[in-house]
Amino acid sequence: MNEKTALIFPGMGPSSFSAVGKFMVLDPYVRRLLPLADEALGYSLLDRFYESDEEYSEYTQVAFLVNSLALAHRAEEELGIRPDYCAGPSFGQKAAAVWTGSLDFPDVVRMTAELARCEQEYFSAEHTDVVTHTVMRVPDSGLQEYLSGLSEQGHWYEISGRLDDGFVMVSLSDRLLEDFTSSVSAMGGYSMSTMRPPVHAKAFHALRRKAAEEVFPRYGVRAPRIPVIADQDGHVVDTADAMRTMLLDTFDVAIDWPAVVNSLVNLGVRTVYVTGPENLFRRVQCTVRNFDVVAVDPKNTLQKMLRPVRTGAPVL
């Protein structure tokens, strides 16, 4: 079997203008996309992103989308990548939809902004005390014992994502967060980020329905040009209906990154290109253990752009 490649659009982590603003101003691939994004939105994305102080505002989300796609275009033109498969865990689904031709870029820009407002409206009234907290290096037995204890005490929780062994996203009440993080530490694990609003839980089915009724009817989803690997269970998405379902599943179905990895391995993928401003999916052990990983991110790209040019030496 010929070794195959995949393009991975990462899920969205905390992002800010201070972290990626300089890259966005200087990168020629971003500059190609910004006028299209501004026209779709009806405002200057850079200006709104600069003024935003929220980690997951609509401006931050659209900026993340633009940066991820710009980096993919850079990888295509400068590294010559021609991926056989595409995957986009969590928020990365949106960039994957554009890259594979399921949706046009202006439509996904508008959809991203509309869905951000839809989520904000929903969580301002529902599940107002729920967060999604990510932990790593937590023994499975210890975590399960702790979560079982929550259930016995009448508390609600859901697993919102599995990223690797002992690396999980848990949605629960923020009143339980301090005890949860202390317990994780006592198990020898580590707490990472806390997401507000929360994500990927069956309890948010009404949000899925709201998005399906209020946002998605305005956008026609097409079949992808190359197969997409669904982030919920690793199945191959190659029809318009399956693509639309995957995009809606993100609201109320947990992600399973190891399942995506296993699917890509079984399909013969040996090299993955991760294009986006993040350092999570490209570094988890199930990724690095199975693939040659090529990261194309704003920090490294900006360093190359600003590197002094030596006479006679080409700059990539």
Domain with residue 239: its CATH number is 3.40.366.10
Per-residue pLDDT, 227:
98
Q: Could you tell me which residues come within 8 angstroms of residue 195 by beta carbon, excluding any fewer than 6 positions away? A: 56, 131, 132, 133, 134, 169
Are 192 and 262 members of one domain? Answer: no
- Three-state DSSP at 34 gives helix
What pLDDT score does 281 carry? 86
Domain tally, the chain: 2
User: What pLDDT is stored for residue 315 in this prediction?
Assistant: 45
User: Measuring CA to CA, how many Å separate 116 from each of 60, 109, 274?
Assistant: 10, 11, 24
The predicted model gives 208-233 an average pLDDT of 97
- For residue 146, give the CATH number of its domain: 3.30.70.250
pLDDT (tens digit per residue) in 104-135? 999 999 999 999 999 999 999 999 999 999 99
The verdict on pTM exceeding 0.85 is yes
Name 82's Cβ contacts closer than 8 Å, sequence gap at least 6.
5, 76
Whether residues 119 and 134 fall in one domain: no
pLDDT at 310 over 70: no
Which tokens in the block code for residue 310?
A: 């030596």
Identify whether 277 is part of a domain: yes
Measuring CA to CA, which residue among 90, 110, 94, 91 is closest to residue 102?
A: 94
Domain limit, last residue, from 144, 168, 197: 197
CB atoms inside a 10 Å sphere around CB 297: 20
Q: Are residues 65 and 87 in the same domain?
A: yes
SS3 162: strand
pLDDT band (50, 70, 90) for residue 45? very high
Residues spanned by the domain of 32: 4-124+203-306
Span 238-293, pLDDT tens digits: 999 999 999 999 999 999 999 999 999 999 999 999 998 877 888 889 999 999 99
Within-domain flag for 313: no
Q: Is residue 316 part of a domain?
A: no
* Dihedral (Cα; 248, 279, 30, 27), 10-degree rounding: 180
Question: What pLDDT, on a 0 to 100 scale, did the predictor assign at position 81?
Answer: 94
| Model confidence at 63: pLDDT above 90 | yes
C-alpha distances out from residue 257 to 65, 88, 120, Å = 20, 10, 26
Q: Are strands 236-237 and 228-229 parallel, antiparallel or unpaired?
A: antiparallel
Verify that 59 and 91 share a domain, yes or no: yes
φ and ψ at 300, to 5 degrees? Answer: -65, -40
- Whether residues 10 and 84 share a domain: the answer is yes
Q: Please state, rounded to an integer, the average pLDDT across all residues of the chain.
A: 93
- For residue 136, the surrounding DSSP H or E stretch is strand 130-136
Same domain, 192 and 207: no
Query: 267 and 175, same structural domain?
Result: no
Side chain identity at residue 192, one-letter code? M
Q: What is the reported pLDDT for 263? A: 98
The string of pLDDT tens digits covering residues 160-183 is 999 999 999 999 999 999 999 999
Higher pLDDT, 228 or 308: 228
Q: List the strands of the sheet with 269-275, edge to edge.
A: 236-237, 228-229, 85-87, 4-8, 269-275, 292-296
Q: Give the residue from 203, 48, 67, 173 showing the smallest Cα distance to 116.
A: 48
Q: Above 70 in pLDDT, residue 316?
A: no
pLDDT at 9 over 50: yes
